[in-house]
Amino acid sequence: MYLIVIGPPGAGKGTQAKILEQEYGLKQLSTGDMLRAEIAGGTELGKKAKAVMDAGNLVSDEIVVDMISSRIEQPDCAKGVIFDGFPRTVDQAEALDVMLADKGKKIDAVIEFVVDEEALVDRLRNRIQQTIDAGQPVRSDDNEETLRNRLKVYRGQTAPILPYYESTGLLKKIDGMLPIDHVTQAIKAILK
């Protein structure tokens, strides 16, 4: 099974992707996590991506498409993948279709997290506080200014993907403002 979770930053996609990963034996692939690993590893790619990510803009389609296309070939992706934070542009969505078609596969469902943007700012404040309380480092793009830009980028570059999936009947909307377990139930009902 190949799923996409899509929605603005902080909508809860990663949380749900991790739950679904356990439940369905899928592999969560977060391009954000993969890029942060490149930064942590001090690679050339990481160095290139850092400033773009810190500003809340998108890294190039080519970089993320290459990362995903080699990653989905790994054995831990054999049962399927939950794409989290990818695709983020129409070009990435088209590249993903081609990649999967080459393997004789296709996207099974696209789950859109519908959320109230102002509530996301509150969620971000909570997330930062929880991270600090847990003694962990706060992500360098986790601040209000960058979040506002990431929301703008989402509206401008990522939301235009939605009609692309709607036209093929793959798009399902869920209310991302519900408590975590309710969101999980809503997704499971869609995947039945």
Positions touching ligand AMP (CB under 6 A) are 9, 30-32, 35, 52-53, 56-59, 64, 85-86, 88, 92, 141, 150
Between residues 87 and 171, which has the closer beta carbon with respect to ligand AMP? 87
Between residues 43 and 185, which has the closer beta carbon with respect to ligand AMP? 43
Query: What is the smallest separation between the CB atom of 180 and ligand AMP, expressed in angstroms?
Result: 18
> Catalytic one among 13, 27, 36, 123?
13
49-55, long-range: CB < 8 A, 24+ apart: 50/140, 53/140, 53/141, 54/140, 54/141, 54/146, 55/146, 55/149
Residue nearest to ligand AMP (CB): 32
> Catalytic one among 27, 36, 88, 123?
88
Q: Contact, 67 vs 97, CB < 8 A?
A: no
> Catalytic one among 71, 139, 148, 173?
139
Q: Is 71 a catalytic residue?
A: no
Query: What is the smallest separation between the CB atom of 35 and ligand AMP, expressed in angstroms?
Result: 5
Q: Is 13 a catalytic residue?
A: yes
Q: Contact, 81 vs 108, CB < 8 A?
A: no
Q: Contact, 97 vs 86, CB < 8 A?
A: no
Query: What is the smallest separation between the CB atom of 99 and ligand AMP, expressed in angstroms?
Result: 13
Q: Which burial class, exposed, middle or buried, applies to 62 when counting CB atoms under 10 A from its CB (0-12, 13-18, 19+)?
A: exposed
Distances in Å between the Cα of 173 and the Cα atoms of 7, 83, 186 are 10, 16, 9
Between residues 8 and 171, which has the closer beta carbon with respect to ligand AMP? 8
Query: What is the smallest separation between the CB atom of 81 and ligand AMP, expressed in angstroms?
Result: 14
Between residues 130 and 185, which has the closer beta carbon with respect to ligand AMP? 130
The radius of gyration computed from the CA coordinates of the chain, to the nearest angstrom, equals 16
Residue 173 has, within 13 A of its CA and on its CB side, a CA count of 8
Q: Is 139 a catalytic residue?
A: yes
User: Catalytic residue numbers?
Assistant: 13, 88, 127, 139, 150
